[in-house]
Amino acid sequence: MTLNIGVIGTGAIGKDHIRRISSNLSGARITAVTDVNQEAAQVVVEQYGLDAVVYPDDKALLAQADVGAVLVTSWGPAHEQSVLAAIEAGKYVFCEKPLATTAEGCRRIVDAEIRHGKRLVQVGFMRRYDSGYVQLKQAIDERLIGEPLMIRCAHRNPESGPNYTSDMAITDTLIHEIDVLRWLIDDDYKSVQVTYPRKTRHALSHMRDPQVVMIETRGGVLITAEIFVNCRYGYDIQCEVIGEDGIAKLPEPSSISLRKEGMYGTRILMDWKDRFIEAYDREIQDFIDSVKRGDVQGPTAWDGYVAAVTADACVKAQESGEWEDISLDEKPDLYESRTLSEA
């Protein structure tokens, strides 16, 4: 049976997920949408030729009995309210990162899910579905490089918008590394420090860019992550795991090589939508399939909580310049069952 999906937030990524569900993926259709900008939501319905109703808000959308699952793709500060309302309505919910903008908000979602007694929430940490990261994890799990000792990574965007602030380097950007690296090496974080190299002239005056974040894991692995959101040349994601017996590196996206005008090289992508297009397809297809089985498997609300606690400590470290502790509540039993990361 086709799964009816409602979409809360029809901005950039909401539209992109609507496009993939309507044209690339199988087993689901969009029957309901809402956005604070209802006219924009109506335009999206027409643009993608959807047979969908535009509802005034998330509550009205969630009240529809025929909506089997929802995607929360609104602004970060609106996520918590919609996810809590979805859990209360007993609906499966895929929420883009961040699950909530505070660790307390994520914890409220975790507690609501525990009270419900069953996993309903999947968080949009799509890198776990990227074939490059999956290969990297396989190499680590198979001990091809021995015990991991250090990780070096870089998260570069060509440019940041006018509303982007220094803390968003953590909460909006590094949040992907925060999730994927603990999944990659099956470890959790202990402490963090943030330092600032010389600032690029391309960053707006209110911003620190680039930033370098050092995270120590409980197992003693040292992570160095560069965040550079005005690098100009492309959307570039790098990750290298240095182990006792060798080094494993995230593959570059496949691309033809060009010999042209005295140069030999490959193109670099400019947009996150293209860099992780297959990962987004896989994560949303997995959500659809697992909702239909009644058994959501992707990144959990607990993963969203861990990311938020870690991000809070990173933001504190941005301000203090000191090493800051990262301390988590005890993992609830609900999240001990097999997930994608353990499958």
Ligand X SMILES: NC(=O)c1ccc[n+]([C@@H]2O[C@H](COP(=O)([O-])OP(=O)(O)OC[C@H]3O[C@@H](n4cnc5c(N)ncnc54)[C@H](O)[C@@H]3O)[C@@H](O)[C@H]2O)c1
Should residue 173 be labelled a site residue for ligand INS when binding is judged by CB under 6 A? yes
State how far the alpha carbon of 135 is from the alpha carbons of 130, 132, 241, 250, in Å.
Answer: 9, 5, 12, 8
Interaction of residue 287 with ligand INS, rule CB under 6 A: no
Part of the chain binding ligand INS (CB under 6 A), chosen from 169-177, 249-257, 318-326, 330-338: 169-177
Find out whether the peptide bond into 251 is cis, omega within 30 degrees of 0. Answer: no
Taking the complex as a whole, how short is the minimal distance between the CB of residue 214 and ligand X, in angstroms?
Answer: 24
172 binds ligand INS (CB under 6 A): yes
Q: Which does 73 bind (CB under 5 to 8 A by kind): ligand INS, ligand X, none?
A: ligand X
Structure tokens at 110: 């975790």
- Is residue 283 involved in binding ligand INS (CB under 6 A)? no
DSSP letter, residue 202: T
- Going by DSSP bridges, is the β-strand pair 189-195/92-95 parallel, antiparallel, or unpaired? unpaired
Does residue 213 come out as left (phi exceeding 0), alpha (psi in the -120 to 50 range) or beta?
beta
Judged by CB under 6 A, the chain residues 125 through 144 that form the site for ligand INS are none
Q: Binding residues for ligand X, per CB under 6 A?
A: 8-14, 34-37, 40, 58, 73-76, 78, 96-97, 124, 126, 172, 272
Q: Give me the least distance between CB of 322 and ligand X, in Å please.
A: 28
List the single partner that 158 binds among ligand INS, ligand X, none, CB under 5 to 8 Å by kind. none
- Give the full edge-to-edge strand order of the sheet including 69-72: 53-54, 28-34, 3-8, 69-72, 92-95, 121-123
How many residues touch ligand INS under the rule CB under 6 A: the total is 6
Site for ligand INS in 29-88 (CB under 6 A): none
Does position 272 interact with ligand INS (CB under 6 A)? The reply is yes
Q: Which entry of ligand INS, ligand X, none binds 6, CB below 5 to 8 A by partner kind?
A: none
Asked whether position 157 contacts ligand INS by CB under 6 A, the answer is: yes
Return the number of the residue (157 or 341) whose C-beta is nearest ligand INS.
Answer: 157
Q: Is 341 in the site for ligand INS (CB under 6 A)?
A: no
Chosen from ligand INS, ligand X, none, partner binding at 173 (C-beta under 5 to 8 Å by type): ligand INS
Q: Comparing C-alpha atoms, which of 129, 17, 42, 110 is closest to residue 334?
A: 110
State the Cα–Cα distance between residues 155 and 173, nearest whole angstrom.
7
Query: If contact means CB under 5 to 8 A according to the sort of partner, which of ligand X, ligand INS, none does residue 75 touch?
Result: ligand X
Q: How far is the CB of 96 from ligand INS (least distance, A)?
A: 8
Tell me how far apart the terminal alpha carbons of the chain are, to the nearest angstrom.
Answer: 26
Instruction: Taking each helix axis as running N to C, give the angle between helix 12-23 and helix 38-47, from 0 to 180 degrees, rounded to the nearest 10.
Output: 30
What lies within 8 Å, CB to CB, of 301 at 6+ separation is: 83, 99, 106, 109, 110, 113, 119, 121, 123, 335
Q: Which does 31 bind (CB under 5 to 8 A by kind): ligand X, ligand INS, none?
A: none
Footprint of ligand INS (CB under 6 A): 157, 172-173, 176, 229, 272
